[in-house]
Structure 1
Amino acid sequence: MEQEFAIATQGLTKQFDRHIAVNELDLQINSGEVYGLIGPNGAGKTTLIRMLAAAEEPTIGEIYIYGDRLLCDGSNPKLKQRIGYLPDDYPVYEDLNVWDYLDYFARLYRLRQPHRRRRIYEVLELVQLANKRNSLISTLSRGMKQRLSLARTIIHEPILLLLDEPVSGLDPIARMQFRDIIKVLQEAGMTIFISSHVLSDLAELCTSVGIMEMGFLVESSSLKELYARLSRQQIVISTLGSLEGLEAELKNCPWVEDWQTIQGTSSLRVHFSGTLEESAELLRALVSAEIPVTEFRTTQEDLESIFLKMGHQQAS
């Protein structure tokens, strides 16, 4: 197995009775990536992450972490120490204070003084909870509890982080705070594997993305390559005049594929197959036809549109 992969799987399969949750999955993730895993409920995301964390034994198949084979038995404890795993339903101990909670896990990982104390301070600073170190966990907001869970997950300085739906149920500010911490961890050289339904979070965070459907990995590529292959160019055009006049002109343009009205506005979202020069030509044609254009900007389809489109392709 090649050393440069932080995670590599071969034929990874998990079967529960007659249900195959993960089906012959081959996955390669480079060191230092933030890899986002997208998929509906029941796609197999949590089962996959549990196998990568050695919390679930594969039915068949192999997992390699930085080139070493991962097994669920007691072998290779040093390899497991390199992994930090945050499940989607991990309980926090409400009657402990923040410091004692982290100290408890640091002791479980056999961190010794004075390094243990220093490390607890470090992770509290990172997750922006240093001023809450003496607070009871029961008094923390949901977002704070999630950041505390992340602090617990990285207390032993893992180099691979497995996060299962970490922003689920958080408000927009809490999601943004969590996202900022993930960026810092990536900059520090950590490899991060993150599953989420919140596609906009993955688009901002990830370098690569995988899409799971019914146990299969139907897509796995860098975000850049995915956008280049599947994201159609769009032009948002707004007018002071009637949309009918604008639409009549768009019908004359060979590079316009189709368009939708942006609800509640005098704007159209146009799917455009031409080059930048040809989009400039379209703008000239609209102005020549005396269409009162107030906005003309090119964008790309977002990750959510790509995901939905891929889902339709899989279904058809």
Structure 2
Amino acid sequence: MTKELAISTRGLTKQFDRYIAVNDVELQVAAGEVYGLIGPNGAGKTTLIRMLAAAEEPTTGEIYINGDRFLRDQSNPKLKQRLGYLPDDFPVYEDLTVWDYLDYFARLYRLREPRRTQRMREVLELVQLTSKRKSLIATLSRGMKQRLSLARTIIHEPILLLLDEPVSGLDPIARMQFREIIKTLREAGMTILISSHVLSDLAELCTSVGIMELGYLVESASLSELYRRLSRQQIILATLGDLDALKAELKNNPLVDNCEVLVGKNQVRVQFSGTPDDSAMLLRSLVEAGIPLSEFHCTQEDLETIFLKMGHQQAS
């Protein structure tokens, strides 16, 4: 049995005058996934998310959320109840307290007492702002404001979360805190679509990624499949002895390619096309050749390298 699709689009297109912002996108996101939407600014990510959030009407095409179709020219209140949408430029009301701000949105979503207060406490706990409930929003750091915006986005317990560039402009600690909250939401069973042009933010969060360029969805796959298909294995080696001796020995192995000396370190990085057994044999042969190795570890190209490589393939 296939997993239920939280999002499914068919031929989804958005045209502004002569400019096509989103071009014939067929997007499928399974329930329970964290789906990362990657692409440079202007690729169409925001327009796509706005259409999924029913904030923008498609020019053509269809959108299904958990199997139910968005109907054109209608307000789709039932579907919107299931969605939480965090745009990249949503204002927070600086002169309200954290509690009053959340209370305002909880009422907009028609949460009634005693559930409303209970839910507000839950989301404040989740985004780690319980101690700030009486503070004016103007006094919060940028990271706290972003976590408060997330709390507002999930106050009505949506099952699908659409986050547009949620960590842009945050410092590394605030980014990490935000990522941890996303992981908690995923564990609670939410489906999350998150866009960014900062790949390192998505690599450890996402189960799948889609890559957008010039309005097209040029790639959509699970992270494990992308790594399997596009990521080459690498081995980092360091020696206490002569680097040239190590490099000469590595050249003898037909599975080793592209030996690169890492600047400022007595280390080399090589591309390796063998199996784990082959890498164990390589290690043994180096030791037997008398190379005083101080480091030998296998790694994979990261998401950023894969992404850049794909860009070159498409450009060439």
TM range (shorter): over 0.9
Match of 2:177 in 1: 177
Amino acid of the residue matched to residue 221 of structure 2? Answer: S
Match of 1:45 in 2: 45
Cα deviations across residues 211-245 of structure 1 (Å, max 9, x unaligned)? Answer: 11111111101111111111111100001123222
Structure 1: stretches of 5+ with no match in the other structure = none
Structure 2: stretches of 5+ with no match in the other structure = none
Whole-angstrom distance in 1 between the partners of 2:112 and 2:90: 25
- Counterparts of 1:159-238 in structure 2 under 5 Å? 159-238=159-238
Cα displacement (A) at 1:94: 0.5
Whole-angstrom distance in 1 between the partners of 2:194 and 2:15: 22
Cα displacement (A) at 1:70: 1.3
Amino acid of the residue matched to residue 305 of structure 1? Answer: T
Amino acid of the residue matched to residue 92 of structure 2? Answer: V
Match of 1:27 in 2: 27
Q: Secondary structure of 1:261's match?
A: strand
Match of 1:112 in 2: 112
Q: Secondary structure of 1:9's match?
A: strand
- Counterparts of 1:285-304 in structure 2 under 5 Å? 285-304=285-304
TM-score (norm. length: structure 2): 0.97
Identity of aligned residues (%): 77
Match of 2:17 in 1: 17
TM-score (norm. length: structure 1): 0.97
Q: Secondary structure of 2:123's match?
A: helix
Whole-angstrom distance in 2 between the partners of 1:3 and 1:235: 36
Cα displacement (A) at 1:25: 0.5
- Counterparts of 1:219-298 in structure 2 under 5 Å? 219-298=219-298
Cα deviations across residues 265-287 of structure 1 (Å, max 9, x unaligned)? Answer: 11111110011111122112222
CA RMSD of aligned residues (A): 1.3
Cα displacement (A) at 1:3: 8.4
Whole-angstrom distance in 2 between the partners of 1:145 and 1:11: 36
Greater than 6 Å deviation, 4+ residue runs: none
Whole-angstrom distance in 1 between the partners of 2:301 and 2:80: 39
Say whether 1:93 aligns with 2:93. Answer: yes
Report the count of equivalent residues.
Answer: 315
Cα deviations across residues 44-73 of structure 1 (Å, max 9, x unaligned)? Answer: 111110110011111111100011111353
Whole-angstrom distance in 1 between the partners of 2:72 and 2:186: 27
Say whether 1:139 aligns with 2:139. Answer: yes
Whole-angstrom distance in 2 between the partners of 1:52 and 1:71: 12
Cα deviations across residues 67-105 of structure 1 (Å, max 9, x unaligned)? Answer: 111135334311111000000111100011000000011
